[in-house]
Structure 1
Amino acid sequence: MKVIPIAAVCGRTVQAAACASDAVAASSGAVAANAGSAAWHLIGALDACFGENDCLGVTIDAVKVGLFRVDGEIHALDDICTHGNALLSEGFLDGHEIECPLHAGLVDVRTGKGTTAPIVRDTRRHDVRVDDGNLYVRLSR
């Protein structure tokens, strides 16, 4: 009998740019691509960041951000569940929904919208881009 997993168990958390090679990363924190509040922050080389996992927690300017890879697309949300003090990046990813590991509420990683109770407040979404194989995130205000 072949077992087919229905969800990816997530749970790896690193500092932003920790997945980047030493040549790319300028520090252990996020590397801003330009100055100001609209800065793009280097997370690291896309392949090195995710490896076999589809979820990754990073910290950018003291903001915990969850990164989720679904069907080749990367989505970024605030990593703290709006219902409880749990990291979404440590939850279970099933399709486009991440299940909070604390109370099993679901959030759509594309939009940040809570889709089941007990999550009644949406989660902030952040912009993501991949440039020359490197992953960047721009924090929303």
Structure 2
Amino acid sequence: MPELTVSKRVTFSAGARGRRRLEPAAEPKPSAPPPLPRITRLMALAIKLEGLIASSAIADQAELARAGCITRARATQIMSLLYLAPDIQEAILDLPPVTEGRDPVTERDIRGITAEADWGRQRDLWAQM
């Protein structure tokens, strides 16, 4: 009959009455995935909040601001991302995770685009970024 060898890292700890207690070694924790850009998270938040307002779970942006402990102006800034053309919203949601350095697109970069009402002009401004 062939021999079978099993290897596993273990540690011993002191138990009651000086006995040694066998404990399995801690498994390495998987590393967290790199974070998504902040603008991506804000775009997703704006879509979620729009759904809450549409379903009447939250009455309006003023109630939203109170519930989120933010100012009405900040709530308006976040919700203004919904004025972007659908393809720009999709591009923002599809931005890759940030592995090093700063976010490639910031909310401040997007504010000028959200102020533009014409989607064609928005697309031109987005392409320039």
- Please, what TM-score do these two structures have when normalized by structure 2? 0.27
The structure with more radius of gyration: 2
Which one has a larger percent strand, Structure 1 or Structure 2?
A: 1
The structure with higher relative contact order (CA 8 Å, sep 6+) is: 2
